[in-house]
């Protein structure tokens, strides 16, 4: 756990970058500091590993005051990932990753073997090990930056806009892969971003900061979306607030239809239906088929693939996306065991979503 108690940072020119910050980044979770440029996010992060000293207040790591930990110990316990990765330009990818393990005195073969594993973990194969940073794309450099921070196996990770320098599609990929890695590693992470979508996607807890380093709100993504503390937070969440909030609403009580199914590798039935749900031999939906005009067994080439939304684990955002993508505004739903459950019309998705959000607001 990282704990800030009444931390203030006033720079020499009297700029107050962080103002009386008290917050906790719980063990094994991702805490995201989010806010507009200049609101003190980087300053807050750099005070944790003492690249910047607070003007007043205290920061502790696992209950230990950070000023009592020596700087070398500090570097080993806290991984630091920055925008543009900050790799050493004259070192290969592998040597970049091994930098801290070498400092710690880990034997070369051991350090290099672990570095290879980490490279695979962040989605880069062996062929990248011998390259130099300039021979990699921005997204690949970012992956190496994450691998380097993980190499020392630190319990804490500080990440300053780690995915901001890459295009939106690569950013989404990196975010998903990072979430997968975190499930296993369960590091205590304090991450900074100016991107509210990224904060909502990655954060277990979100700290919204405003100008002058003042906390606007602290809470889970669902809490912040459902109940923004003030106009600043509401404006910062922007117009997509309702849509985001839907991803925290489990599906229940939505009206389902018994759209008929057909099975891959079996002949298409004679039917008046314009669209049917195709399933595999085990009854699991794979997508939509237009049975008219098909002759012989149905093949996967006849299917417009669509992912089914889980009745038990799905949320209204997935359901809305699936209905928007499905023919005639219909989404396919699956039971807990993956078998076909039924389809849902977009009108019913919208009705149920509005009900769910209204019920959430009414609880305030």
Residues forming contacts to ligand ADP in the complex (CB under 6 A) are 11, 13, 15, 17, 37-43
Helix (H, G, I), strand (E, B) or coil at 35: coil
User: Based on CB atoms, which residue is closest to Mg ion, 42 or 188?
Assistant: 42
By CB atoms closer than 10 A (0-12, 13-18, 19+), residue 253 is exposed
User: Based on CB atoms, which residue is closest to Mg ion, 42 or 315?
Assistant: 42
- The tokens 């928007």 sit on which residue? 324
User: Based on CB atoms, which residue is closest to Mg ion, 17 or 97?
Assistant: 17
User: Based on CB atoms, which residue is closest to ligand ADP, 192 or 308?
Assistant: 192
User: Based on CB atoms, which residue is closest to Mg ion, 43 or 141?
Assistant: 43
Chosen from Mg ion, ligand ADP, none, partner binding at 15 (C-beta under 5 to 8 Å by type)? ligand ADP
Chosen from ligand ADP, Mg ion, none, partner binding at 11 (C-beta under 5 to 8 Å by type)? ligand ADP
Chosen from ligand ADP, Mg ion, none, partner binding at 37 (C-beta under 5 to 8 Å by type)? ligand ADP
Helix (H, G, I), strand (E, B) or coil at 22: strand
Q: How far is the CB of 118 from ligand ADP (least distance, A)?
A: 27
What beta strand segments (E) does the chain contain? Answer: 2-10, 16-25, 30-34, 56-61, 64-65, 78-82, 156-160, 188-193, 205-210, 214-219, 261-263, 276-279, 285-289, 304-305, 309-310, 330-334, 340-345
Q: How far is the CB of 64 from ligand ADP (least distance, A)?
A: 24
Q: What is the Cα–Cα distance from 51 to 127, expressed in whole angstroms?
A: 35
Residues 120-136 as b/e (b if ≥16 CB within 10 A, e otherwise) read ebbbbeeebbeeebeeb
Q: What is the Cα–Cα distance from 96 to 110, expressed in whole angstroms?
A: 15
Q: How far is the CB of 10 from ligand ADP (least distance, A)?
A: 9
Half-sphere exposure of 268 (CA within 13 A, CB side): 23
Rg (CA), the chain: 25
Q: What is the Cα–Cα distance from 174 to 271, expressed in whole angstroms?
A: 45
Cα end-to-end span (Å), the chain: 30
Range in contact with Mg ion (rule: CB under 5 A) among 6-14, 34-42, 281-289, 305-313: 34-42
Q: How far is the CB of 8 from ligand ADP (least distance, A)?
A: 12
User: Based on CB atoms, which residue is closest to ligand ADP, 11 or 88?
Assistant: 11
Q: Structure tokens of 176?
A: 């998903």
Q: What is the Cα–Cα distance from 327 to 294, expressed in whole angstroms?
A: 18
Chosen from Mg ion, ligand ADP, none, partner binding at 142 (C-beta under 5 to 8 Å by type)? none
Q: How far is the CB of 43 from Mg ion (least distance, A)?
A: 8
Q: How far is the CB of 72 from ligand ADP (least distance, A)?
A: 24
Per rule CB under 5 A, is residue 217 in the interface with Mg ion? no
Per rule CB under 5 A, is residue 193 in the interface with Mg ion? no
- The tokens 């100008």 sit on which residue? 211
Q: How far is the CB of 217 from ligand ADP (least distance, A)?
A: 16
Chosen from ligand ADP, Mg ion, none, partner binding at 17 (C-beta under 5 to 8 Å by type)? ligand ADP
Chosen from ligand ADP, Mg ion, none, partner binding at 184 (C-beta under 5 to 8 Å by type)? none
Per rule CB under 5 A, is residue 42 in the interface with Mg ion? yes
Range in contact with Mg ion (rule: CB under 5 A) among 39-47, 100-108, 151-159, 267-275: 39-47
Cα 116 to the center of its chain, rounded Å = 24
Chosen from ligand ADP, Mg ion, none, partner binding at 40 (C-beta under 5 to 8 Å by type)? ligand ADP
User: Based on CB atoms, which residue is closest to ligand ADP, 33 or 174?
Assistant: 33
Site size toward Mg ion (CB under 5 A) is 1
Q: Structure tokens of 11?
A: 């720079």
């Amino acid at each position: 756990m990282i704990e800030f108690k009444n931390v203030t940072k006033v720079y020499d020119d009297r700029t107050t970058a962080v103002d009386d910050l008290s917050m906790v980044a719980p063990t094994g979770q991702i805490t995201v500091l989010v806010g507009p440029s200049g609101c003190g996010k980087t300053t807050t992060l750099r005070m944790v590993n003492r690249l910047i000293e607070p003007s007043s207040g205290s920061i502790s790591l696992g209950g230990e005051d950070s000023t009592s930990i020596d700087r070398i110990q500090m570097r080993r316990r806290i991984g630091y990932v920055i925008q543009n990765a900050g790799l050493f330009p004259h070192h290969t990818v592998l040597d970049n990753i091994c930098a801290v393990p070498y400092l710690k005195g880990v034997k070369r073969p051991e350090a290099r073997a672990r570095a290879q594993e980490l490279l695979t973990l962040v989605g880069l194969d062996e062929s990248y090990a011998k390259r130099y940073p300039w021979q990699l794309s921005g997204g690949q450099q970012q992956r190496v930056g994450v691998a380097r921070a993980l190499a020392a196996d630190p319990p804490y990770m500080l990440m300053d806009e780690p995915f901001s320098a890459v295009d939106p599609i690569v950013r989404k990929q990196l975010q998903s892969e990072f979430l997968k890695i975190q499930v296993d590693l369960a590091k205590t992470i304090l991450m900074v971003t100016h991107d509210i979508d990224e904060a909502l996607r990655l954060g277990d807890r979100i700290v919204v900061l405003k100008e002058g380093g003042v906390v606007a709100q602290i809470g889970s993504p669902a809490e912040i979306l459902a109940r923004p503390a003030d106009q600043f937070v509401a404006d910062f969440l922007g117009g997509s607030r309702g849509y985001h909030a839907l991803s925290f609403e489990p599906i229940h009580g939505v009206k389902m239809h018994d759209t008929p199914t057909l099975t891959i590798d079996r002949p298409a039935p004679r039917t008046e239906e314009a669209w049917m749900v195709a399933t595999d031999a085990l009854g699991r939906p794979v997508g939509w088929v237009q049975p008219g005009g098909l002759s012989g067994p149905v093949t996967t080439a006849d299917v417009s693939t669509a992912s089914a939304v889980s009745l038990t684990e799905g949320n209204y955002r997935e359901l809305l996306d699936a209905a928007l993508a499905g023919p005639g505004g219909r989404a396919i739903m699956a039971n807990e065991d993956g078998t076909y459950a039924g389809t849902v019309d977009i009108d019913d998705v919208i009705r149920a979503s509005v009900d769910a959000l209204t019920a959430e607001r009414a609880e305030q």
